[in-house]
Structure 1
Amino acid sequence: MRGAPDLARLPRVTLAGQVAGAIRDAVLSGAFAPGQQMNEAELAVRFAVSRGPVREALQRLVQEGLLVSHPHRGVFVVELTEADLADVYLAREAIEATALRRIAALPDRAALAPRLDAEVARMDAAAAARDWTAVAAADLAFHRALVEAAGSPRLSRMYDTVQAETRLCLHLLMGGYRSSAGLAAEHGRLAALATRGDLDAALAELGRHLADPIRYLRRLGATPPAPDAP
């Protein structure tokens, strides 16, 4: 087609995307602490880029929910309160429950079992090795597989909008999960119910599973109180 751009020559990842990825990893690893201000000029020096890509990267991460922008103050790493955590998991339950309903109606839902079982096994092995980063990764992959199995691109995009915040939540939650030897077993039960098509039991299991994080953090005191808390 005359005049059409040669898309093969476009970079696969923009400079802003690379900077966003590096900052995202630093936030999720705790290298940038909750509440820390993100200094645009310092980040530009750190990554040896101009301030433009840094500004675009920060805006992306604000949209993902990992950073928050306060007018006249700047951009900061988000500090998740218990209310924030509950809201993330409320959104997740709505998305994943819808996915379970779609999966229950699929004639080939049993084909999903090997993928889910693989993530459960990975989670179990990581927990045994006390590799909590790998546990969180397997947890996230398990739930993404559930959503993708529904076969709805829009539902998957909705899940994408909470994925970054979910990763941040899981980073906090690993402290609670360390005392839970049954984490992989919980996922195994959910996988079995979903692939068997036992919708009511699967929805009940999902509800219990996604309610647990609030209980963990209340016990650990791992999140700061809400701004209006006494």
Structure 2
Amino acid sequence: MSPDIEPITRESTAAIIARQLREAITSGVLEPGKQLGEAELAAQFQVSRGPLREAMQRLVSEGLLRSERHRGLFVIELEPADVYDIYAARAAIEYAAAVRIIRSRDTSAVAALEDALAELEQATTRDDPRAVSDADFRFHEVLVHESGSRRLVRTARTLFIETRMCLAALQHHYPDPTQRVAEHARITDAIRRGDEPAALSVIEAHMDDAVARLAPGTSLLSGSAPTIGEGGVDISG
């Protein structure tokens, strides 16, 4: 006999709070290092402290909040070493995704990438840096999703949460947003042509460029990885 399991019809209060706080952190509305007060947030969300604490613990487990004994919860501050790790891991995951697409010869996956690239290009025509960051993020989500690998998607999920924080900062480091389009176009073109070495080269170069902009003096390609404690990175939106 199957267990009596009722379908979930709506998001829990804790999940809604977690989603809104996650968005505020990754977009830079809640700045790195900011302390989150329970009383203030409970009043703002008009909820009791129970679901609020559950939501905040979710974000602690995701790595977006850090807990300090006797002090409370704080929005994380990414150091250059964190940025290096995020983009090094992403380079490996996204290259693996690109290889799967290339070897599968899946034209629908290439078409999905081309659509995501077109969205990014369209976003750059508007005076809306947030829209550009959202379209940039969407392109990489599509790349991993279209690989068809559930494990790559699952592995990328946590990295993408931290990536949103980096993208909020990158919008201030690209004086000409069309540079972002050009970088993504090179990735799409390499995959479309089925050129695995080129895909590796352009994905690594794309990730390295982001690292260099966010943490000057750091490079994925040269292997100049910073150590923990070298100072914070301005990831406020």
Matched, 1:227 2:224: no
Q: What secondary structure, in the 3-state scheme, does the structure 2 residue paired with 1:128 have?
A: coil
Contact 2:25 2:64 in 1 (8 A): yes
Q: What secondary structure, in the 3-state scheme, does the structure 2 residue paired with 1:105 have?
A: helix
Out of 142, 166, 187, the residue aligned to residue 145 of structure 1 is: 142
2:15 corresponds to which residue? 17
Out of 181, 185, 189, the residue aligned to residue 188 of structure 1 is: 185
- Structure 1 stretches of 4+ with a deviation exceeding 4 A read none
Distance apart, 1:204 and its partner CA: 0.5
Distance apart, 1:90 and its partner CA: 1.2
Distance 2:192 2:29 in 1: 39
Distance apart, 1:202 and its partner CA: 0.5
Out of 87, 100, 103, the residue aligned to residue 102 of structure 1 is: 100
Distance apart, 1:2 and its partner CA: 6.7
Structure 1 residues without counterparts, runs of 5 or longer? 220-224
Cα deviation, 1:109-134, whole Å, max 9, x if unaligned, reads x2222211122122122122131111
Distance 1:3 1:142 in 2: 40
1:117 corresponds to which residue? 114
Cα deviation, 1:198-218, whole Å, max 9, x if unaligned, reads 101001000000000122124
CA 1:3 to 1:125, structure 2 compared with 1: closer, same or farther past 3 Å?
closer
Structure 2 residues without counterparts, runs of 5 or longer? 217-226, 232-237
Distance 1:138 1:228 in 2: 31
Contact 1:64 1:162 in 2 (8 A): no
1:222 corresponds to which residue? none
For 1:100, give the aligned amino acid.
Answer: A
More helix by share: 1
Matched, 1:45 2:47: no
Out of 78, 88, 95, the residue aligned to residue 90 of structure 1 is: 88
Percentage identity across aligned positions? 42
Out of 45, 56, 62, the residue aligned to residue 60 of structure 2 is: 62
2:158 corresponds to which residue? 161
2:202 corresponds to which residue? 205
TM-score by length of 1: 0.89
For 1:19, give the aligned amino acid.
Answer: I
Aligned length: 222
Matched, 1:171 2:168: yes
Distance apart, 1:53 and its partner CA: 0.9
